[in-house]
Structure 1
Amino acid sequence: MCKGLATLPATCLKSAKDIKHKISFLLDQKQAKGKIANAAAAKRSEKVEYVDVVVRVPSAAEGEKWKESFSNVMSSELGRSVFTSFLRSEFSQENMDFWVACEDYKNTDPSKFTTRAKQIYQQFVKADAPNEVNLDAATRDLTKQQLENACPCCFDEAQKMIYTLMEKDSYRRFLNAQLMRDLCQTRESCC
């Protein structure tokens, strides 16, 4: 960190980090719109060989299942994808990214545990990490200690905390999101 940034209060650094996430989100949206526009233009000229993104809209039944419990969202690949998009709109996608990284880590070759654990720690857990997740100091310290003997369970407490955060906080807002309301209205109009 440069000397000028080191003298700033933590709240200023947090605000700067939030602005960085918002800008990257807006850039991602602009790039996605550009890809769609380019694909549409190419299609009009009949030069399209493939489309970069295939979007599957969740069915009303899937939406109803997701409303039953957060675990139903997380156990569905499409559910996680839709929920991740929702988290991105709230600038908290790092929570899902961390959860997925922890799941992948559990399936890592044991010879690569130490390296991969350090990467995850540097990316998500360490204070001021690029995609820092919201962990209390005790969990952050416990996770750091467990890195010394990297094993499949060294991120378990941190992962549980982030899962609970998503379930108790973001999931509640997700249920009230426009997509979920639209899925419910589709179901009601069909019956």
Structure 2
Amino acid sequence: MCKGLATLPATCLKSAKDIKHKISFLLQKPEPQAAEQKQMKEKTAAAAEKSVPTTAEVEKWKESFSHVMNSDTGRKVFTTFLKSEFSKENMDFWLACEDYKKSTTSKLATRAKQIYQQYVEADSTNEVNLDAATREVTKQNIEIADPSCFDEAQKMIYTLMEKDSYRRFLNSKLIQDLSNIHSRTVKEKKENKNNCERVKNRQALAGGA
């Protein structure tokens, strides 16, 4: 019989057991990176769930374009549709104009020039579809650079999106898929409720018997 462990002092044996316990605990503990990845996935899933529009929202969007534009989620969904049509610059310009109106007086001139060069100027990077007259008026307005200098151009792009893109959006696969998702969800919830009621009824009958 091996007497090696028996000859060790009790304190040494206790220390050895403590070390063994700590090693076992560390092996079971998830790696920090894995834990962070799991937490990130959970946050992403939660954010994605929040970004899904409700049935009421989707139905509102079908009523009028203003409901789409007055909703953060509505604008995001509509922007996704515009991307598919290669006309995202219209929404980008409209949002840039909204943001411009909130600029401080000292930054209006610089910001106005940036927006003009990016969206309004002929052959600009993200040129929006404006007629020559509106383009010229806007060019003159930025010389003054007050909060309303893009109003006419912004209104024209809003009308363009409403009369053109929005109509196709209503008939798009994107909006149909959103409607179908909610239809399936409502149906599933109804079926689950009915199943629960049937189970309760069976349990009640079994208990009475």
TM-score, normalised by the number of residues in structure 1: 0.72
Give, in whole Å, the separation in 2 of the partners of 1:186 and 1:168: 27
2: CA distance, partners of 1:68 / 1:92:
22
1:183 paired residue number: 178
User: Matched residues in 2 for 1:160 and 1:116: separation?
Assistant: 19
Query: For residue 157 of structure 1, what is the amino acid of its counterpart?
Result: E
Matched residue of 1:135: which SS?
coil
Q: Which amino acid aligns with 1:98?
A: F
- How much does 1:50 deviate? 2.5
Deviations 1:118-173 (A, max 9, x none): 00000000001100000000000000001111100000000000000000000001
Structure 2 CA distance for aligned equivalents of residues 185 and 63 of structure 1: 11
Provide the secondary structure at the position in 2 that maps to 1:134: coil
| Alignment partner, residue 160 of structure 1 | 155
Q: Give the AA of the match of 2:132.
A: A
Tell me, yes or no, if the aligned pair for 1:60 and 1:186 is still in contact at 8 Å. no
Structure 1 stretches of 5 or more lacking a match? 1-44
> Does structure 1 residue 78 correspond to structure 2 residue 73?
yes
Q: 1:125 aligns with which of 108, 114, 120?
A: 120
2:56 to 50, 61, 70: 61
Q: What is the identity, as a one-letter code, of the residue corresponding to 2:99?
A: D
Q: What percentage of residue pairs aligned between the two structures are identical?
A: 64
TM-score for both structures, normalised by structure 2: 0.66
Q: Pairwise CA RMSD of aligned residues?
A: 2.0
Matches of 1:116 and 1:62, distance apart in 2: 33
CA distance in 1, matches of 2:63, 2:168: 14
The letter for the 2-side match of 1:138 is A
Q: For 1:181, give the aligned amino acid.
A: Q
1:80 positional shift: 0.3
- Number of positions where the alignment pairs a residue of Structure 1 with one of Structure 2: 148
Task: Name the counterpart of 2:19.
Answer: none
CA drift at 1:109: 0.1
**Cα deviation digits, residues 58-108 of structure 1 (max 9, x gap):** 122111000000000000000001101110111100000000000000000
The more displaced of 47-56 and 59-68 is 47-56
2:140 corresponds to: 145
Amino acid at match of 2:82: L
Q: Which has the higher contact order (CA 8 A, sep 6+)?
A: 1
Structure 2 residue 40 is the aligned partner of structure 1 residue 50: yes
Flag structure 2 segments of 5+ consecutive residues without an equivalent.
1-33, 188-209
2:96 to 96, 101, 106: 101
